[in-house]
Amino acid sequence: MRQFVLTAALAGVTLGLVMVAQQQRWRQGLLGVGAVLLVMALVRLTLPTRRVGMLAVRGRLLDTAILLILGISVIGLTLTVPIPPVLPVSGS
């Protein structure tokens, strides 16, 4: 039960990466990965070290800061990629 947090986080990231691999849903997949990282930061900040299992690597604040930076970076970089315009289909 101690590794439930890490297992849930890995499942969320895996789901996001599967969506990225499908190529049509890469933006949603990366936003999902970023959201999972932000949720992991919140979990790491709020739960005691004995409950988060292997999610605890360093100190609580350092782990939280790293997860926040990664989550915000993934979401920010995903949102900066422009959406290609949809060209109208010309009928002949």
Q: Does residue 85 lie in a domain region?
A: no
* Averaged pLDDT, groups of 10, the chain, 92 residues long: 79 90 85 93 87 81 93 95 80 60
Number of separate domains in the chain = 1
Q: Does residue 20 lie in a domain region?
A: yes
Q: Does residue 86 lie in a domain region?
A: no
Question: What is the domain range of residue 32?
Answer: 4-80
Q: Does residue 91 lie in a domain region?
A: no
Taking a C-beta distance cutoff of 8 angstroms, is the pair 78, 27 a contact?
Answer: yes
Axis crossing angle, helix 4-21 with helix 26-46, rounded to the nearest 10: 170
Interior CA angle at 12 toward 48 and 32, to 5°? 110
Q: Does residue 92 lie in a domain region?
A: no
Q: Does residue 89 lie in a domain region?
A: no
Question: What pLDDT sits at residue 91?
Answer: 64
> Cα–chain-centroid distance for residue 11?
11
Q: Does residue 53 lie in a domain region?
A: yes
